[in-house]
Structure 1
Amino acid sequence: MFAFAAGVALLQLLPVLPDIPFGIFLLPALAGLLLLPRLAVPAALVCGLAFAGLSAQDALSRRLPLEASGERGQALVRIVDLPRQAEDGWQFEAEILESADFPRLAGERVKLAWYRTPERLSAGDVWRFELLLRTPNGVRNPGGFDAEMRALQKGWAAQGYVRGQARRIGNDGGIDAVRERLSRRIASAMPGRDARFVRALALGDTRFLTEDDWDVLRRTGITHLIAISGFHVGIVALFAMYGLSGLYRLFPALGLRLPRPMASAMVAIAAAAGYATLAGFAVPTVRTALMIAVFMAHRLLHRSGTVVQAVAMSMAAILLWDPFALLASGFWLSFTGVLALVAFMPRAESGLLGPFLWAQWICTLVLLPLTLAFFGQTSLVSPAVNLLAIPLISLAIVPLALIGCVFAFLPTLAAVFWGLSAWLMALFWQGLLWLQQWPGAAVFLPEGGLVAVLAAMLGAGLCLLPAGVPGRWLGLPLMLPLLWPTMPDIPHQNVRVAMIDVGQGLSVLVRTRNHALLYDTGAGREKGFNRGESTVLPALRALDVGRLDKVVISHGDNDHAGGLSAIRKGIVVRRVDASGDTASPCRAGASWQWDGVRFSYLWPGSDAVGSDNDASCVLRIEAGARTLLLTGDIGEHAEAALVARHGAGLRAELMTVPHHGSATSSTAEFLDAVRPKQALVSSGFQNRFRHPRAEVVGRYRMRGATVWNSAAEGWVELAGDSAGWQLQRREREHGRRYWSRPIPREAHDGH
């Protein structure tokens, strides 16, 4: 069974999916698995590869093709999850019921947004929308979230927006509609924000948890206990089994009708399935329900196999249900934790506290490498917090919330249980707010490679071996490459430049030997989506940038400055220079040096007039013979003034394309003065402005410049040294997987 899982996992590592009929390998491999025991392991491996390959081909074939991406059309859709209302509109998942304009998407799920609408959406609603749909896509950066992988996991064939007319047809009901009504009852039963955790713990409804809430949970290491997790499903199944055992003790005659082991297994499976249903069949809950079903079936059949074999069967069952389940961090954390407990839990421990402490220590150590690999951070207070959080939340707060749901038809009684649950959580929350302020509450580490993660897991296992076992001393050294990774050294008078992929916006990271500068921050809202928080900060942490010596805000447009507040909250920023009337303005003539690298503001001057775009800070960087020009959103008027003032002094081998490649920038005269060899253009995938314009890209290429577009390449990093500007990393190539659609640069030249 582990070999089958290994085959499924191997396919997920492929950068490109082979164009072969995987089905022709599946039948012979199944025959070998069933008929030739000696070949069972390789046959199971091939079965896993072939099954995963077939599933991947099917999933990709159902996606909106790139050539149809960006088209508009009418569709009848049903909302199939709990829609989220943000500051600027709604986000929701929908099933396309029928569409003459998108016939191949009928029956498929899509991820939609509806901005600036007064309408109120509910789960189960049926609407006729005019949609603009795109193939699944997202930004790509070190340490960043892979939106295309997420689309594969969720089965989204497209993503898009509601545009133009919309008409509500009705409501089809369904389990999510029931969950939403129950969530509203919980909210109406208690004042203020007290209901948010009860809704999350009872129903998996996390819509009302703020980003600040999630930050506290991450910093204290208990995100796995909030919302309905697999752990909660297991607790509910365990409660159901204990309840049944009590019933059998009270009425022994029940055993004559139905043996207690069989009844216990049936009740555990039913309880797990029911709770998973209450959670809207969230992947972690279905995964745990399947694990419980396999374990119980194993027990009912009186198999003499080991726990490890039962775990392997559970893993295979989950992957047969959903081969993309192993792309989720929870899959690896769950199974690794279970196997670690089986392998390292002392058999002689008695009582309750001893085994609980041992289990906590084992899971903390073994899961540390995976936690760092998946999230880039860990919490030093997490082990201590979980000692209280696990029993309190699982044995008191969650049961009270669920009892309230059982008595939802009696609002007064339900409100008592929900109120007790919320009161306990509020008390505990005050402690978390205090703990999360500790300096070591959250520790961020730069990204490590697969080899470092595997070595660290081996090291953790060695550390847990009994004293005196040969090789145990190697445990800590094997963990060091992940805990203290070595980052590339930047020599004196050299520079590294990275265009961060922030979609339709701009953010450029410039590093010298001992300093770091961020030019613009991408877009962001105070109470909504923020590129500074979701994209820039994870990239900085992945590269071990723990401090920004200077942030330059080229001008005040949101797509350049919106992420600043989140960045200042998440990392030390020593100084901010900005265009306009600020405490620290960027002014032509100002300059400084870091590590032998010279930074000079060329614009705006005191005589700058025109739009905010034309007042963008223009920064020239000289690292020996290497030169870089950062241009913000300047247009033709500012470009002409720069040429008149500086002439050949504008010359730079590498530059950012002004204003994302708009038709009002990058004039021929300006490019003739700069004479770039390489140009960086930051633009969003199929953006509504059609940036960069084809004629603009053509001007650069006519002059022999290579144009790197973030929409096509993701993060682009270059190193400037005595040999020239060397390309270091293109994230879409560096982290390419078969679910990442190849996007030619020409697709973003305005066509």
Structure 2
Amino acid sequence: MGPPPETTPPAEGRAVPPLLPWQPCLLAYAAGIAAVVFPVAGLCALGLLALFPRPAPGRPRLWTYVLAFGLGAGAAALAMPAPPRETPPCLAQRAPLDLTGRVAEVEARPGGRLSVTLEGVRVTGGDCRQAPLPGRLALSVDQPAFRPVPGETLAVTARLRTTGGFDNPGGPDFALLRRLEGVFYRAYARGDKGQVRRLAPSDDLLALRREALRQAVAARLAPPEGADAPDRAGRAMTAALVFGDLSGFSQNDLDVLRRASLSHTLALSGMNVSYVVALAAGLAWAIGRLRPGIFLRLSRPYLTLFLAAPLVAGYCWLGGYSPSLYRAAFMFGCCAVLLFSGRHAPLLDGLFLALGLMLAAMPLVVFDVRLQLSALAVAGIGLFWPPFSALCRRVRWPGPVRWPVLGLLGVLWTSLCAEAAVMPVVCRLFGDLNFNPWINVV
């Protein structure tokens, strides 16, 4: 008899889930995208990937990393908006100009301020006569008289300035972040002084419906006169979690959330989508209680996925299609496909597949901080959860004690995993560290 055939150890016995051969290549592709703006960091990331053991069977060769890196750099270079070569001379004057443009995006900021992105902007004031503005315009509206809706045409009277900010070495490059969005000019206007006017209504039915729903919810959540700060912040939290509307918060409220390590609750990312999926799981359980025979045709996990799909799509619409919501929705769809194909708990595979689709369609999303934090948090949970799960399987406590204690420790460990993964990025971008994972347990 010959030697027994070699068998691959089951994935359950591994301390950390393995990566498929294409997944390190996706990391090299992302490093190539980053290298267009941060060449040293991108090359260092490629060097770290090159340290992976090779040439083991199934492991990517070094030339595949280099090829993926080059593809990422080429995709980013093609997608990067080019700065304007020629600027109309009339834009150099410091006097207020009359601008008209179509609303592309509206983002509510703390204190009631609005951040509006206009496209197709034309300058009509001063010496300009319908001169087109290169790129898009970032308009900050203080004390707005009305809430613009995507698709509307606005007239604005304001001074134009190029994008940028204070020279703060080591801090975010606001000019770069705006350039990634195709924005090269900014302006500031006061809504209560008539500097912003509506010229034409929106023809975007979904945006109009979302705004009507937001106004109805805001009217129900309006704080009564004499309400204290916690009451106002609690009402504002509901609007923030549903619509991503931060206008009801004061800067002090956001500082409190930041010090409590709860800023991620306002990011409308995977955690919020998981609540939506949990709602679908509850609906599937209730349907099973009422009509048990349905599980003979469709198992409970598959029924949960079918019920969750429209809920996740609706929540992405309510949340304004932020990149972190995109990532969560893409990941939900990818995990659903993997589950239907017979994969069990495909957390990291779903994350990589979702990121691969996003980076193929929108390479510059690599530079979005919201997506970075969201993806790192999920990756941290996927990497650090298996050791805790293996430890829990060895615990032989009685049931009434085991499940409450391990459940509480599991929530705390999940918070620790996510915080450990995003900690370097938070320290690098924001310069502070607020480590309060126990508050996330509540």
The aligned residue for residue 4 of structure 1 is: 26
Partner of 1:120: 146
Cα contact 1:4–1:316 (8 A) shared by 2: yes
User: Structure 1 or 2: larger strand share?
Assistant: 1
The code of the aligned residue for 1:94 comes to L
Q: Which has the higher helix share?
A: 2
**Equivalent runs, 1:654-665 vs 2, <5 Å:** none
User: Of residues 70, 92, 96 in structure 1, which corresponds to 2:120?
Assistant: 96
Shift of 1:205: 0.4
Report the CA distance between 1:50 and its aligned residue: 2.5
Q: Whole-Å Cα distance in 2 between the matches of residues 41 and 274 of structure 1?
A: 43
Report how far residue 312 of structure 1 moved: 2.0
Match of 2:35 in 1: 13
Judge conservation of contact 1:83–1:122 (CA < 8 Å) in 2.
Answer: no
The equivalent of 1:187 in structure 2 is 218
How many residues in Structure 1 have an aligned counterpart in Structure 2?
363
Q: Point out where structure 2 has 5 or more consecutive residues left out of the alignment.
A: 1-22, 40-57, 124-128, 225-231, 393-401
* CA contact 2:163–2:185 (8 Å) conserved in 1: yes
Amino acid at match of 2:441: L
Displacement after TM superposition at 1:60 (Å): 1.8
Equivalent pair of 1:78/1:94 in contact (CA under 8 Å): yes
CA contact (8 A) 2:111 2:249 kept: no
Alpha-carbon separation, structure 2, partners of 1:40 and 1:210: 52
1:226 paired residue among 247, 266, 270: 266
**Amino acid of the residue matched to residue 60 of structure 1?**
P
Deviations 1:143-201 (A, max 9, x none): 42321232145443543356998652232154444343333333322424353222112
**What letter is aligned with 1:110?**
L
The one-letter code of the counterpart of 1:187 is A
Output the CA distance in 2 between the equivalents of 1:269 and 1:102.
Answer: 45
Residue 332 of structure 1 and its aligned partner are, at CA, apart by 3.3
Q: Distance in 1 between matches of 2:339 and 2:310?
A: 16
Give per-residue Cα distances to partners, 1:221-264, cap 9 Å, x unaligned.
11111353331112212321332243234323334554544433
User: Of 401, 408, 430, which aligns to 1:375?
Assistant: 430
Cα deviations across residues 260-297 of structure 1 (Å, max 9, x unaligned)?
44433233333222111101112211111111111111
Counterpart secondary structure, 1:123: coil
How many Å separate the matches in 2 of 1:247 and 1:41?
Answer: 52
Query: Offset of 1:141 from its aligned partner?
Result: 0.9
Q: Contact 1:81/1:123 (CA < 8 Å) preserved in 2?
A: yes
* Contact residue 277 and residue 308 of structure 2 kept, 8 A: yes
Shift of the 114–337 alpha-carbon distance from structure 1 to 2, 3 Å rule, reads closer
Contact persistence 2:100–2:122 (CA under 8 A):
yes
Q: 2:167 aligns to what? A: 140
Change (3 A) 1:301 1:168: same
Cα deviation per residue 1:527-562 (whole Å; 9 max; x = unaligned)? xxxxxxxxxxxxxxxxxxxxxxxxxxxxxxxxxxxx
Please state how far the C-alpha of 1:326 moved relative to its aligned partner: 2.4
Over the residues paired in the alignment, what is the CA RMSD in angstroms?
3.6
For residue 199 of structure 2, what is the aligned residue in structure 1? 169
The secondary structure found in structure 1 opposite 2:106 is coil
Q: What is the TM-score normalised by the length of structure 1?
A: 0.43
> Structure 2: how far apart are the matches of 1:342 and 1:76?
45
SS class of match (1:253)? helix
**Structure 1 residue identity aligned to 2:103:** R
Partners of 1:330 and 1:79 lie apart in 2 by 20
The 1-side partners of 2:130 and 2:207 are apart by: 28
Q: Could you tell me which residue of structure 2 aligns to residue 200 of structure 1?
A: 240
* Percent identity for Structure 1 against Structure 2: 23
- Does residue 267 of structure 1 match 2:307? yes
Distance 1:264 1:112, change over 3 A: same
What whole-Å deviation, never above 9, does each CA across 1:567-609 have from its counterpart, x for those lacking one? xxxxxxxxxxxxxxxxxxxxxxxxxxxxxxxxxxxxxxxxxxx
Show the 5 A alignment for 1:557-596. Answer: none
Equivalence for 2:67 = 46
Partner residue, 1:641:
none
Alignment correspondent of 1:454 = none
CA distance in 1, matches of 2:252, 2:423: 24
- Residue number among 361, 371, 379 corresponding to 2:416 in the alignment: 361
In structure 1, stretches of 5+ residues that fail to align are: 18-36, 389-751
Higher relative contact order (CA 8 A, sep 6+): 2
Please tell me the residue identity of whatever aligns with 2:137: V
CA distance in 2, matches of 1:342, 1:86: 37
- Larger gyration radius, structure 1 or structure 2: 1
**Contact residue 371 and residue 377 of structure 1 kept, 8 A:** yes
TM-score under structure 2 normalisation?
A: 0.69
Question: Which of 368, 384, 402 pairs up with 2:438?
Answer: 384
Q: State the shift of 1:93 in Å.
A: 1.9
The one-letter code sitting in structure 1 at the alignment partner of 2:265 is: L
